[in-house]
Amino acid sequence: MILRDAVRVLVNNWDGSYTVPSRRLYPHQWSWDSAFIAIGHARWSPRRARSELLSLFGAQWRDGRVPHIVFNPRVAEGAYFPGPEFWAARAPSGSATSGIVQPPVHALAAWKTHLVEPDPAFLRRIYPRLVAQQDFLRAARRSPEGLISIVHPWESGMDNSPAWDLPLQAVETGVAGFIRRDLDTVSADERPTDRDYERYVGLARAYRDSGYQVPGAFQIEDPLFNTAYGVAESTLAKIADVCGLDPEPHEREAAAITQAMVEHLFDGALFQARDVRTGGLIRSSSAAGLTPLMLPELPAGVADALITTAVDRFAVKDAVLPSYAPDAPEFDAARYWRGPSWTNLTWLVWQGLKERRPDLAATLADAMIGAVSQAGFREYFDPFALRGHGCRDFSWSAALILDVVA
């Protein structure tokens, strides 16, 4: 039943070559959504999974960046803010896009698709694009410490995480002249605040006005983004192998980023984000700090410490994974990335626990299935009451359930 319903969500949100995250709230193609959605499609239609990824990479920029939104020209102007007229950017393919990126989880999605239905021709086609995506991050975003930075909270994927409260204080508010469209669909107390949006818009405008070249007042090394980058390298090593290419440079890069993360972002219990402008760690209780469990070469002692934190502070044993530790004062069970449980974040930590602690991984999988069984394929969930929040029929909630139960 749950599987049939999940496929129904994906079929209804399919737009011919890719899947919208949600018909009303997110009516275009989103970068990391497409990766998670492809992982789900692979379980019932690997052809759609390949199409999902190839269509996204069709809008890759010449510098290798994969934009976080690819706009559908058939969607009414003004249906989503900020839309194509705000971003004023075009990919070489002619598609209107945004100019920022999202966590690079796409190599993993391509590999998982190949594992379900081996297709070396697909891997050969997508491999150079995945490499170019990583090349962009190295060229444009790497610090002397060897870590990759993001230049906008939207690039983290966890837009209003309390981890960004402090760095966002350096960003001016008072940006006017825009109308939010998200509140047409979702109640304001489940979304970022107007002050958050003023900062998001101001930061995006400044980056746009520099030709999408110069980072503004927000420059952060985020543990989830760096984990995705590292996992992409270890996955590219496997893909290179299938393509008859040398996996070694990818293995070396994966080891290097893991080491840099342990050295600069680990606080002894959790991975933290680092503010590039001040050089200081931003102490928060974000579940993003657990995702390095996915890194294959994470030292065992570090992984053990993360698992202890997960169990003690993120209730991994008896609730779905909250996006922010419930014992922290900033925790909010309903407001977007300030506490609610998200299927994709839970899936990432689940991946990281599968080999290290199969018992805890099984608990998380059951919790994910329990949440959608109770609340439906909502965008996010109150981690304790399991009440659904955000939009309905959200694609990655459906897609990742297909993967978890497979």
Catalytic positions, please?
Answer: 159, 379
- Min. distance of Cβ 21 from ligand DGY in angstroms? 9
Angstrom distance (rounded) from CA 368 to CA 399: 12
Of residues 261, 275, 282, 173, the one with CA closest to residue 218? 275
- Interface of this chain with ligand DGY, residues 118 to 147, rule: CB under 6 A: none
Rounded to the nearest whole angstrom, what is the least distance from the CB of residue 26 to ligand DGY in the complex? 6
CB 182 to ligand DGY: min, Å: 6
**Residue among 202 and 352 whose Cβ is closer to ligand DGY:** 202
Q: Which of residues 172-201 bind ligand DGY (CB under 6 A)?
A: 182
Residues in 63-92 at the binding interface with ligand DGY, rule: CB under 6 A: 68
Instruction: Show the tokens assigned to 396.
Output: 């990655």
Looking at residues 146 to 165 of the shown chain, list those that interact with ligand DGY (rule: CB under 6 A).
154, 159
Residue 274 tokens, joined = 């680092």
Q: Which long-range contacts (CB under 8 A, 24 or more apart) does 71-79 make?
A: 71/28, 71/29, 71/95, 71/96, 71/97, 72/15, 72/20, 72/27, 72/28, 72/29, 75/27, 75/28, 78/181, 79/27, 79/181
Q: How far apart are CA 284 and CA 274, in angstroms?
A: 11
Is residue 289 within 8 Å of residue 328, measured between CB atoms?
Answer: no
The residue whose Cβ lies closest to ligand DGY is 154
Minimum CB distance to ligand DGY smaller for 32 or for 271: 32
Give the Cα separation of 237 and 207 in Å (integer).
33
Considering only residues 312 through 351, tell me which ones interact with ligand DGY, judged by CB under 6 A.
Answer: none
Between 336 and 350, whose beta carbon lies closer to ligand DGY?
336
The smaller minimum CB distance to ligand DGY, of residues 28 and 357, is found at 28
Structure tokens at 53: 């990824």
Hunting for tokens 């990759």 — which residue is that?
A: 148
Phi, psi at residue 11, to the nearest 5°? -65, -45
The least distance separating ligand DGY from the CB of residue 362, rounded to whole angstroms, comes to 30
Binders of ligand DGY: how many residues, by CB under 6 A? 4
Three state DSSP letters for 6-45: HHHHHHHCECCCCECCECCCECCEEHHHHHHHHHHHCCCC
Query: Cα(33)–Cα(397) distance, rounded to whole angstroms?
Result: 10
**Smallest separation, CB 390 to ligand DGY (Å):** 9
At 217, is the secondary structure helix, strand, or coil? coil
State the nearest-atom distance from the C-beta of 316 to ligand DGY, in Å. Answer: 25
- Least Cβ distance, residue 176 to ligand DGY (angstroms): 19
- Interatomic CA distance for residues 101 and 70, integer angstroms: 11
Residue the block writes with tokens 């050295």: 263
Q: In sequence order, what are the beta bridge partners of 14?
A: 19
Contacts with ligand DGY, residue ranges (CB under 6 A): 68, 154, 159, 182
